Structure 1
């Protein structure tokens, strides 16, 4: 069975290849026929353009004004006359030369590129005219640098002599512009194989055949192409199948040499349309074959379809069961995450509750002994005077008091009542209370209160605790820094107030806000703090339905951002 399919496929491909070749040859012949008609039209247009003004030098050579100017009369009248002729006939220039090739009058005398005073004895058209023939020549203007086609005729004098030469210059660039506008590829080459005009500007002044040294010397002597390098055109022609490759492009190619001066016209037509039509024909054949095979296979596919439908129903049921299972797995995973988070919160709440009871008990039990020790030390200092031991004991007692104050601060919840107050007032009160700590650390606290009121409804005392703890932590962080600065900013939005405390300390390091919120988590040295301030502050902010976040400042240090709801609609 498989061998039969391979044989059938081979036969179809052989037929398709033959059909493609035959159809391409047919459509290519049609394209070449169309291109030949276009080439004939372009050749006729070129011949008409060249011969349209061929008679004008002869007529001008018989003009009495021309003869008078060559006889020594002032040339101003002839200058004006030639300018009018040139403008009305659409000629680039008309000029008259004496027998030495010196231009004595020109239609462009009034322009900056006037031919007047120029000697063109080296030009072939002048030499042919002096020999009694109609001089014809294509070249780049030696004065203007603009290419054109030149005609020249001798001006007869008395007794069969020659008094000078009258010449005209015809601009063929309009013909080239028409080629370019048509979108077709065409070029005109002279008898030496130099491209004179081309629809592609890059082809102009290239050579379609190698130049001999004699040809190059002749062109240099006549200055026919100025300073052009006359490099070879990158092309190859296959006359057998009438194709040419120019650069990287492939064309159908036709040419004609039946032009004046031995010129040749070359036409390049793309073969894309012929190839496309050939491929469409081949594709139509293959589509017909495919359709026929499809019809034959249709009955077989119908039998297979019944079995596939049954299999698809089973597969759909399995996919549905898998989808439900995936949803259940995701719901269970989310429930487990919620449970873990709730357990963590309950554990923290339990630790904080136990810590509050412990803090209250320790504060109560240690308060009186510490006060008694301080009184004893004060009495000793009054009777005995200051001693190193007494100073050391004073420091230890102060450290113990600092620890009990933190415990007392943690166990104290404050009043549950709410009141309306300005956050700026709370921050200024906290800074006033922390002024001794600021001075002892020689720190700079930059607080620029906002111009508007930052009011909210909350427990004022507990919010003051938050501000005090956060700023005290910032002061502790900059204690060992070179730049000891704490920056405080505050503001409000429609439904919340906020303040930020940034310091120039050591930053958070590898710790997160969750790590620092744990009781007794601290980066201070032993005895400098218990690590309860941030735990207390986080609890107060949470009780007020606010948020607290912390991150490292890109310029160094840490930033604590506290946001609280304004609650202005609640009764204080």
Structure 2
């Protein structure tokens, strides 16, 4: 009887097979969706980090721009008051007078270090200039078409960046009107400041930085090819204005920047695609408007890091999915093997041969996949003995598989300095509580170098569903840690630059705040000397007492401002408003006599006290009163009255300082409290900025308004402590 042919193994029904295929396809789709979402999250996170880095760098660049634009703003106002300048405008036909003006302006320009300083008559013709003896002298040139001349001729300060009509060199032009004794504008003084140093500094930055004017034209850039190109189209009116002003020389067209921009809702900046050095590049860009200068600063950073972050996340997700796929395949093969053991012996022998071949192929496939992984794989049994390592893990540690298999802890790749930590994670795993989110582990390679890894451990389940051990995925993150260290070092450098900028502002603040007490010291010391010569002992003692009081006041100002810079609480003292006003006015008695002014105080004695730092609040009143006295210099003597009044309004104390001065032009209203902005010749432009900072530290407000009939009203609003 011939042997019967072997029967086929039972096949699953078509419905079950379709269900399994649908389940597998659904799991694959879900895994792909999760991996894609993780990649997008990583890209958004990296973009947020880049935006933070841009903002930190932008703070440093903005400080540099404002310093370059502001440190020469005092020069035109100071020069406009000199007798030689006024004489040249009064006698434009006198060659000797104009020559003396030339020499004075030349010396002032040399001492200040600016590019050029020059005097223009009301018709726009240059009468004197610091470069009068050079071939490119401004003397005799007409600048009547330039906006900075037009602004100053109208009585305003001018700020204009453009290419010089005479030299062809770009620069920042700052102008101020020259006024007669009657207040009429009789000329204009202009200083030209070069931004070459800033341009040269930008050539060393890695990513592009650029400045655009109000029309969107690039006038300063670390990429020379972008100069004098526009971020948006210019209409005919704007082009005609540029041609008339000759802001950028004889240029008649401003082509669009070779950018393709992409903006997204809720993103920190926008994407710029362009070409640099013949290569396509993508940058994340953020704009910072500078309204006080009329410019916009744009800082960019390479967007390739965002793409790389997304790709790294996708790679890790695919590797994890591959590991899970291998685990599922292994489990499926074992299930099929146990199912076949229920068949007949003859069929079993045949199936064993067939399945053995299939298992060999699957094992070869699984091993090929595991050997190609960049993630290290390590399996341990329930006793902690290593039962499997892949080539990636052997490469991380420097030990071969034959040296690791069968090893119990401590393992040879444990770092000597981390042994307690390794034991901690090992004990947690053996107790069935491994770190589900993974943990960082420091290993020592066989050659002695350190390898930093992230370890993810999961239970290893056998075919019967029993716990057979632990499977760990080990990812080498050494390079990532080094990159994070470099990023921290870059952040520390930026913070150091910010601290240096704050140190410069604190030095200016101390110099300005100590000026008035030191002037009072000088006045009282001079009076003491005079009383000593006259033998008037009573007044001598009084002057010396005042001198000592001012010395203590100076020390107190230094101590309080230093504490304020350190961001400590301003003070906890109850201050009577009348006493604050009296102390401030006492320091201004000499100045009021000199300026032929007087003060009227309307402060009821029944007013409740305010709570704060007495010295700093007196300093605020002192600055406001002094500004009012100076503002009334051109006011008739009988109207030179500074008024000080206080009252409680809606539960808050309002202290008002009123004058009959020249008032504040509406065009300058937004710049009144800006640092380094001033309309006083020789002023630093810090007083009102400091006053507002002190008041805001007391949770108050400092505002100003026009006074009916002429003049200004400054209002100081402070909290009243609860009874």
Greater helix proportion:
1
- TM-score, normalised with respect to structure 1: 0.49
Rg larger in structure: 1
- TM-score, normalised with respect to structure 2: 0.39
